[in-house]
Amino acid sequence: MHELSIAMSIVELAEEEAERRGVQIIAVHLKLGALSGVVKEALFSCYEMACENTPLQGSRLQVEDVPVVIFCLNCRAERSLSSAQLFSCPECATPCSEIIRGKELEVVALEIQECVPNPV
């Protein structure tokens, strides 16, 4: 269970960006590859924990799942795999180990709100 340390890294990274730009973060958009080694459900609950008592408290984590995409040397084309248990081309069945996508663990965007003084 390393999702908590991953979640903390995400929060840290987002906090840094927020501070630098002087904005408040409403949501963090994350690309998560099927081969990233991170379990999405665990990450969600850890994210909430990691946000506690930080400027990101109450923010959302939005995850975009990235399937494994390999390059089939036989078809000379990119192919998306439906399962990480079978690394072969879904069209021609050639075994493929050249991974093009699927290892992502990347913050791609932040949903922000400019900081304005709260009306009293």
Question: In terms of CB distance, is 76 or 119 closer to another protein?
Answer: 119
**With binding defined as CB under 8 A, does residue 29 bind another protein?**
yes
**With binding defined as CB under 8 A, does residue 48 bind another protein?**
no
Among 67, 69, 87, 101, binds another protein (CB under 8 A): 87
**With binding defined as CB under 8 A, does residue 108 bind another protein?**
yes
Q: How far apart are CA 29 and CA 50, in angstroms?
A: 16
Structure token digits, residue 97: 């180990």
Among 15, 17, 44, 48, binds another protein (CB under 8 A): 17
Among 21, 77, 93, 100, binds another protein (CB under 8 A): 21
Residues lying near another protein in the complex (CB under 8 A) are found at: 1-2, 5-6, 9-10, 13, 17, 21, 23, 26, 29-30, 35-39, 84-88, 95-97, 99, 105-114, 116
